[in-house]
């Protein structure tokens, strides 16, 4: 890979994103369109509608990214695209575009696991490389895992959720508290004016010997707390939001802390949309300081779904696998988590 320039495309859900990234770290241009606002009143994404929106904006986003970059297509070494997991209709818009572009430009094509993209997002734009081993907490609307990573592309899945993802817990809690979808950030903002100790919730799987996460019971506990308060509930939404958020964060942080008791690492990374959460960021930074390790959280544009993380991941896949990184792939809605790194 002469210049280490990869054009990445990510369309797994409701974001349409194209980026040109140099050597897995230096973003030369990125354009991301989102159709999320159109789902705000609906409590979730409608897959067919998300795919239709992808189709509408895919080419304009690609053209805009190329215009912003202003470089020469001859310098692009490869095209990388999210192959899954995600919404099939949305994924297909990205993978078809990538296939056509690769063929027209005579470039090799790489299919990248969406989660591997998130795992590769925490040092985009940084001036240094992470020091392995790294422990990564990956938290978004669709996934919640703790990974122990020996290198960019090798590692172990230590913990995963049995049911809802952390972001899903935030979003479902937000709906119960009358906030629009996706309500994680709004719930967190509401929590700031509340007292988190007035309605304490049990931390999920607190005494469970497994390393799993679980959030669905917590969501039910919030529903019952609101029901039990009856007409008065609305006056306590801030306190309930504060307790709910504190319990989600406690559950995440407990698992991270016990993984760090068992495994010696150099860095702690938190990636995915929920890594925007203030109390979670604060708790993880405190853990890292206490343990004298480096902590990294991607900057805002690389926390949510974006193409830079796909191009970044692709670069490290190429570094390890060379020509094998360009093997043919299928576009798939479900892909085992363990295929993200192995
Ligand atoms: O990574 P992402 O953009 O999409 C997925 O791939 O799922 O993550 C979106 C999730 C949503 O559930 C959203 O509510 C949550 O991240 N989120 C937050 C915050 N900002 C976004 N959750 C808690 N606190 C926040 N500040
Ligand atoms: Zn994602």
Which residue has a Cα nearest atom 13 of ligand 1? 184
> Relative to the alpha carbon of 179, which ligand is closest?
1
Return the best residue to mutate from 170, 173, 303 for the ligand 1 pocket (most ligand atoms within 8 A of CB).
Answer: 170
| Confidence check: pLDDT of 42 > 70 | no
Report the chain's mean pLDDT, rounded to a whole number: 95
Percent of the chain residues topping a pLDDT of 90: 88
Q: How confident is the model at residue 39 (pLDDT cuts 50, 70, 90)?
A: low
The CA-based diameter of the chain, rounded to the nearest angstrom, is 66
Stretch 26-38: mean pLDDT, rounded? Answer: 88
Q: How far does the centroid of ligand 1 lie from the alpha carbon of residue 298, in Å? A: 13
Q: Please write the tens of the pLDDT for every residue from 153-203.
A: 999 999 999 999 999 999 999 999 999 888 999 999 999 999 999 999 999
Q: How far does the centroid of ligand 1 lie from the alpha carbon of residue 22, in Å? A: 27
Which residue has a Cα nearest atom 5 of ligand 1? 141
Give the residue among 49, 46, 50, 62 at the shortest CA–CA distance from 96: 62
Cis peptide upstream of residue 7 (ω within 30 degrees of 0): no
Helix 237-262 to helix 166-176 angle, to the nearest 10 degrees?
Answer: 170
Return the best residue to mutate from 82, 274, 280 for the ligand 1 pocket (most ligand atoms within 8 A of CB).
Answer: 274
Spatial contact of 13 and 86, defined as CB atoms under 8 Å apart: yes
In 3-state terms, what secondary structure has residue 334? Answer: coil
Stretch 42-66: mean pLDDT, rounded? Answer: 88
Spatial contact of 129 and 157, defined as CB atoms under 8 Å apart: no
DSSP per position, 104-133: HHT--EEEEEHHHHHHT-TTTT-SSPPPSS
Give the residue among 139, 56, 54, 138 at the shortest CA–CA distance from 331: 54
Q: Please write the tens of the pLDDT for every residue from 84-95.
A: 999 999 999 999
Counting from 1 in the atom list of ligand 1, the atom nearest the Cα of 183 is 14
Q: Please write the tens of the pLDDT for every residue from 269-278.
A: 999 999 999 9
Stretch 228-242: mean pLDDT, rounded? Answer: 96
Predicted local distance difference test score (pLDDT) of residue 54: 87
Q: How confident is the model at residue 29 (pLDDT cuts 50, 70, 90)?
A: very high
Q: How confident is the model at residue 46 (pLDDT cuts 50, 70, 90)?
A: confident
Cα–Cα distance between 146 and 336 in angstroms, integer? 15
Predicted local distance difference test score (pLDDT) of residue 181: 85
| Confidence check: pLDDT of 262 > 90 | yes
Structure-token match 């996934």, residue found: 143
Q: Please write the tens of the pLDDT for every residue from 292-309.
A: 999 999 999 999 999 999
Instruction: Tell me the pTM.
Output: 0.95
* Residue 227 DSSP label: H
Q: How far does the centroid of ligand 1 lie from the alpha carbon of residue 304, in Å? A: 7
The CB of 82 under 6 Å from ligand 1? The reply is: no
Q: Which of 36-40, 186-190, 242-246 is predicted with the least confidence, judged by mean pLDDT?
A: 36-40
Start-end of H helices in 106-205:
114-119, 166-176, 184-191
Start-end of H helices in the chain:
47-69, 88-105, 114-119, 166-176, 184-191, 216-229, 237-262, 278-290, 307-321
Q: How confident is the model at residue 34 (pLDDT cuts 50, 70, 90)?
A: confident
| Confidence check: pLDDT of 338 > 90 | no
| Confidence check: pLDDT of 48 > 90 | no
Give the residue among 229, 204, 227, 201 at the shortest CA–CA distance from 215: 204
Return the best residue to mutate from 273, 305, 310 for the ligand 1 pocket (most ligand atoms within 8 A of CB).
Answer: 273
> Strand pairing of 294-296 and 155-160?
unpaired
Predicted local distance difference test score (pLDDT) of residue 41: 67
Predicted local distance difference test score (pLDDT) of residue 14: 86
Contacts of 15 (CB under 8 A, 6+ apart): 32, 33, 34, 36, 304, 305, 306
- A 10 A CB-CB count for 38 gives 14
Predicted local distance difference test score (pLDDT) of residue 38: 67
Percent of the chain residues topping a pLDDT of 70: 98
């Amino acid at each position: 890979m002469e210049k280490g320039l990869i054009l990445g495309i990510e369309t797994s859900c409701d974001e349409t994103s194209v980026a040109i990234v140099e050597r897995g770290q230096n973003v030369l241009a990125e354009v991301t369109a989102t159709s999320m606002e159109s789902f705000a009143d609906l409590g979730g994404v409608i897959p067919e509608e998300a795919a239709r929106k992808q189709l509408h904006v895919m080419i304009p986003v690609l053209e805009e990214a190329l215009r912003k970059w202003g470089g020469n297509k001859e310098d692009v070494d490869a095209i990388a695209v999210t192959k899954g997991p995600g919404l099939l209709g949305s994924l297909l818009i990205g993978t078809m575009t990538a296939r056509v572009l690769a063929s027209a430009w005579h470039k090799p094509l790489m299919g990248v696991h969406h989660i591997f993209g998130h795992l590769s997002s925490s040092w985009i734009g940084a001036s240094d490389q992470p020091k392995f081993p790294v422990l990564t907490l990956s938290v978004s609307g669709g996934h919640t895992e703790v990974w122990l990573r020996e290198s960019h592309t090798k590692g172990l899945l230590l913990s995963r959720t049995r049911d809802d993802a952390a972001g899903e817990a935030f979003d479902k809690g937000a709906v119960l508290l009358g906030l629009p979808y996706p309500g994680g950030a709004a719930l967190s903002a509401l929590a700031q004016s509340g007292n988190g100790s007035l309605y304490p919730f049990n931390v999920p799987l607190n005494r469970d010997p497994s390393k799993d996460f679980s959030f669905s019971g917590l969501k039910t506990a919030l529903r019952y707390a609101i029901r039990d308060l009856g007409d008065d509930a609305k006056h306590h939404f801030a306190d309930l939001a504060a307790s709910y958020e504190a319990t989600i964060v406690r559950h995440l942080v407990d698992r991270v802390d016990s993984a760090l008791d068992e495994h010696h690492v150099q860095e702690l990374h938190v990636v995915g949309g929920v890594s925007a959460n203030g109390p979670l960021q604060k708790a993880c930074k405190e853990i890292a300081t206490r343990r004298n390790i480096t902590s990294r959280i991607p900057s805002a544009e690389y926390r949510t779904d974006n193409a830079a993380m796909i191009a970044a991941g692709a670069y490290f896949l190429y570094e390890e696998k060379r020509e094998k990184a360009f093997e043919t792939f299928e576009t798939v809605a479900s892909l085992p988590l363990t295929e993200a790194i192995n």
